[in-house]
Every structure is written in C-alpha cells, then in structure tokens.
Amino acid sequence: MNWLPFLAWLGLAYFIYYLLLILVDSRASGSHSSEDELPVLTFSEARPPEKVMLEDLVVDSGSVSAPAVYPEPAAKGLGGVSLANLFELSRNEAIEYTRAVSF
C-alpha cells in the first residue's frame, strides 16, 4: 500500500467518524427538552461600577491605609528607560548584559 491509498482510507475513516458524531449529537440535542426556551446567561451586580483613580490605590502590604501618590511609573523605579534613551545607550555602548537575551 502506498501513501496515497493509505491517506485516502484514513481520510474516509475520519469523515465517517465525524459524520457519525454529528448525527448522534443532532439526535441527542433534539430530545433534551420539549420547551422552545433557550438558556440565557445573566449577571447581576450588587452595586454599580465606580471609577477609581490611581491615587486611590494603596500599596501597604495588602492593608488599606491613606491614598498613596505615585510620582513616576513603576518601571522607572525598576531601572526602566524610555525607548529614545535605550537607543542612546546602545549608540554609546553603555548597555551591560547581565543575562542571556531571548527573542
């Protein structure tokens, strides 16, 4: 048996298998309920949504206290640089690789 007849038989077997699955599923889905009502998913919220500002968020080991003020983005505190500064550092060859770079 060559590859072409093998793939043809395999394709025919899958076609028959999926056809049987569709027929069994269509028979089973028709006999589930006699009602014409479709199930509907609904959500109810206890309170309406409210707008929260960044100043309202607090970072105090999980507890709630006075509002914190963030003068600069968190990436700056972690040593992040802007894209323009990154290119400038690259031109000056001032970037030090401390671990492997993955792409």
- Per-residue model confidence as pLDDT tens digits over 37-75: 777 888 877 877 788 777 666 555 455 555 555 566 555
Residue 79 has pLDDT above 70, yes or no: no
Domain assignment of residue 67, yes or no: yes
Domain assignment of residue 47, yes or no: no
Distance between CA atoms of 90 and 79, rounded to whole angstroms?
A: 15
Domain assignment of residue 5, yes or no: no
Structural domain boundaries, residue 87: 54-91
> Are residues 65 and 58 in contact, defined by beta-carbon separation less than 8 angstroms?
yes
Domain assignment of residue 8, yes or no: no
Distance between CA atoms of 39 and 28, rounded to whole angstroms?
A: 17
Cα 27 off chain centre by = 35
Mean pLDDT to the nearest integer, 80-94: 82
Domain assignment of residue 72, yes or no: yes
Domain assignment of residue 58, yes or no: yes
Domain assignment of residue 16, yes or no: no
Distance between CA atoms of 32 and 38, rounded to whole angstroms?
A: 12
What's the whole-number average pLDDT of the chain? Answer: 76
Domain assignment of residue 28, yes or no: no
Please state the domain count of the chain: 1
